[in-house]
Amino acid sequence: MSARQAEEAVTVHETPSVPALLLYWPARLLLKTAYRIWPLGDRGIRALTFIEVLFGWLPKPPNVDLTTVDLGGVEAELSVPRTPAHDQLRGVSVLYLHGGGFLFCGPATHRRVCARLAETLGVSVYSLRYRQLPEAGAGTSVQDACDAYRALLDRSDAPDKVVVAGDSAGGFLAAKICELAATDGVPRPAAFVGYSPQLSLDPDRHDPALLGADAYMPLSAIRRAKPRWERGPVALRGTRSPVDAPVEVFPPTFLTAADRELLEPDIRALTGRLHAAGRAVETHVWRRGVHAFPVLDALTSESRAAMRLTGEFLREVFGRTDTARLETVEVADDRAG
């Protein structure tokens, strides 16, 4: 596969908005420094829980109803739109896995993006409170995600319309659900949505000069966090790098990335592999963006565009699925006649 062929599935958005630039430079100057110096011992990681607490105090988003549910023994916050979809997305549900490097964040920090997904798409969105550091490493987070996915299949009236989505480390969990569903003989997700997904536990394996260009994720912080991702109590199953998993495990896939962010090489690599194999994949890269910018809700036009493009992609996916299902029924009726 040539680089040119791989690029066919990637759309690059060249001109950043003013709000995006206003976010980019403070993130580069302030957040990158904070990530570089923040202590990643158990006490330092526990101190990060204040971020989830602070976001929990914010006003609840309008136009969705929020409840707490149990998915396979894992707590999830359910966002239900007050105006459900009546088009191709009718009956679709989304299991959303928040990012945070397996260190911090939760349903509260990602409440806005999940509510926006629910409202924009007209679908129910389950935001999972999976176990993470310092008590549990990446393998345990993966186990919680897979248990919740199976429970959602059982709970859903349309198990063939369950989408897995996530940003950053949550994108790793969503990709692992795709991989391990195939391994375990579980129905695979209907689609995979990744906002700057982390597709390997070794994201530092690429050119350090390129990786150092990320707006706010310093390479040094990734290397300090990596040994902690190995912590139990549940060992990681399958590959450390879903980017290298067999392409057959992936359903239709929608990905976003910021240009020159630390995770972009693996995002482009997965895009290229899926495209070369004839799999449905659509990837969008924004210049001067910050990592996982779609979770910023409506703060920038780029975030709004990512949400709109997500909806367009999923409507196309489920439009094809509904057409295939209708054709199957018509063939069966013809044979019966």
Residue type, 16: P
Beta-carbon-side half-sphere exposure of residue 161 (alpha carbons within 13 Å):
20
pLDDT at 328: 35
Facing residues of 54 across strands?
A: none
pLDDT at 335: 42
Catalytic residue among 17, 79, 93, 168: 168
Beta-carbon-side half-sphere exposure of residue 60 (alpha carbons within 13 Å):
10
What's the first-to-final CA gap in the chain, in angstroms?
47
pLDDT tens for each residue of the chain, 337 residues long = 444 556 778 999 999 999 998 888 888 788 888 888 999 999 999 999 999 999 999 999 999 999 999 999 999 999 999 999 999 999 999 999 999 999 999 999 999 999 999 999 999 999 999 999 999 999 999 999 999 999 999 999 999 999 999 999 999 999 999 999 999 999 999 999 999 999 999 988 877 766 666 767 778 888 999 999 999 999 999 999 999 999 999 999 999 999 989 999 999 999 999 999 999 999 999 998 889 999 998 889 999 999 999 999 999 999 986 544 434 334 344 444 4
Among all chains, which residue has been given the structure tokens 């991989």? 179
Number of structural domains found in the chain: 1
Tokens read off for 49 = 């829980």
The span from the CA of 131 to the CA of 145, in Å, is 9
Task: Let me know how long the chain is.
Answer: 337
Residue 79 Cα distances to 37, 115, 128, 215, 226, angstroms: 35, 6, 11, 31, 32
Host domain of residue 143: 3-336
The burial of 261, by beta-carbon neighbours within 10 Å (0-12 exposed, 13-18 middle, 19 or more buried), is given as buried
Residue 33 Cα distances to 27, 100, 190, 217, angstroms: 9, 17, 39, 9
| 168 a catalytic residue | yes
pLDDT at 24: 84
The span from the CA of 27 to the CA of 214, in Å, is 10
Give the three-state DSSP class for 89: coil
What is the CATH classification number for the domain harbouring 295?
Answer: 3.40.50.1820
**Sequence-ordered list of residues with C-beta below 8 angstroms from that of 134, at least 6 positions apart, any chain:** 42, 45, 46, 228, 231
pLDDT at 5: 54
Give the three-state DSSP class for 257: strand
Facing residues of 285 across strands?
A: 12, 257
**Sequence-ordered list of residues with C-beta below 8 angstroms from that of 79, at least 6 positions apart, any chain:** 61, 64, 65, 66, 111, 114, 115, 117, 118, 124, 125, 127
